A and B are shown apart, each in its own frame.
Chain A
Amino acid sequence: MTRPDLADRRGVETVYGAAEDSILLADAAVDDVSPEERVLDVGTGSGYVAARVAETGAEVVGTDVNPHACLKARDEGVEVVRGNLADPFRDGAFDVVLFNPPYLPTPPEKEWDDWMEHALSGGDDGRRVIDPFLDTVGRVLAPDGEVLLLISTLTGVEEVRDRAGSNGFDATVVTEDSHPYETLLVVRLTRRDD
């Protein structure tokens, strides 16, 4: 399987701009979110998804580890917190959590130590950031809350489903978008009744 190296996708940018994946997630979120709902956009990056969802009347907060992303999202009018995943938010605070994670599998020798790398690379298996997200996101979700997570077939859909399952979530595919080397999917996670 060939696809452009990370290096080829990178200019001198430090913040990942809105691309197909962001648009797919934003469209799904706008359909799902109701006005007044409280929404967290993890890894908000440019703030594109958060700003789109805020237009629906929802109360949206964006978070990112990247300080450049935080500034950019703030300039888009997004209320933003610099933090790691959902760590700095209270238990049960959100009706909906959105995440367009770094999901591309990247062998260690191809990794670059910069912010754009951090936004794109999911480590060796593509799930370096997704797994800890799935393990911790339940804490900040309201009882009937849901997660909309963007992944790629390169990330391993079954592996993500299994990890979500072991954290008490059912996963359903909301929408998908086919590209030459991968299909992008938005997966909805809801708490399993048991």
Chain B
Amino acid sequence: MKEDLMDIICCPLDKHDLDLEVDERDDGEILSGTLVCTECGESYPIEDGIPNLLPPDMRDEAPA
């Protein structure tokens, strides 16, 4: 993900802002890291350059 994506994403649960913690960066692209809600503290992983902003109860759910 690009860092300016931060302007439009939010916590899927309470819609508050997210803090970005970068683990790995390549040029402008954030490859891995964590997004943490500034309100509820829930954390969301960034893996393979893709932020996973599914609510925690849907994260490991089988499809359908």
Chain A contact residues, CB within 8 Å of chain B: 38, 61, 65-67, 70-71, 74, 79-84, 87-91, 93-94, 111-115, 117-118, 121
Query: Contact at A113–B63, with CB atoms within 8 Å?
Result: yes
| 26 A-B interface contacts by CB (under 8 A) | A61-B8, A65-B54, A65-B58, A71-B48, A71-B50, A74-B48, A74-B49, A74-B50, A79-B2, A79-B5, A81-B50, A82-B52, A82-B53, A83-B12, A84-B12, A84-B58, A87-B12, A87-B53, A87-B55, A88-B10, A89-B8, A89-B10, A113-B62, A113-B64, A117-B64, A118-B63
SS class, residues of chain A in contact with chain B: mixed
Determine the residue in chain B with the shortest Cβ distance to A92.
B8
User: What distance in Å separates the Cβ of B25 from its nearest Cβ neighbour in chain A?
Assistant: 16
Contacting pair A81 B64 (CB below 8 A): no
Docked complex Cα distance between A89 and B5 (Å): 10
Q: Does B1 contact A (CB under 8 A)?
A: yes
Q: How far is the CA of A88 from the CA of B15 in the complex (A)?
A: 7
Instruction: Select which of B2, B9, B50, B64 is within 8 A of A70 by beta carbon.
Output: B50
Residue numbers in A under 8 Å from B48 (CB-CB): 71, 74
Q: A83-B12, A88-B11 known; A66 and B63 CB under 8 Å?
A: yes
Residues of chain A with a CB closer than 8 A to B53's CB: 81-83, 87-88
Q: Interface residues, chain B, CB within 8 Å of chain A? A: 1-2, 5, 7-12, 15, 48-55, 58, 62-64
Q: How far is the CA of A90 from the CA of B51 in the complex (A)?
A: 15
A38 lies within 8 A of B58 (CB): no
The CA-CA distance from A88 to B12 in the complex, in Å, is 4
A24 to B10, CA, bound (A): 31
Q: Are B64 and A121 in contact (CB under 8 A)?
A: yes
Given contacts A61-B8, A87-B55, contact A115 B50 (CB under 8 A): no
Q: A66-B63, A84-B12, A88-B10 are in contact. List 5 more A-B contacts (CB 8 A).
A: A81-B5, A81-B53, A88-B9, A88-B12, A113-B62
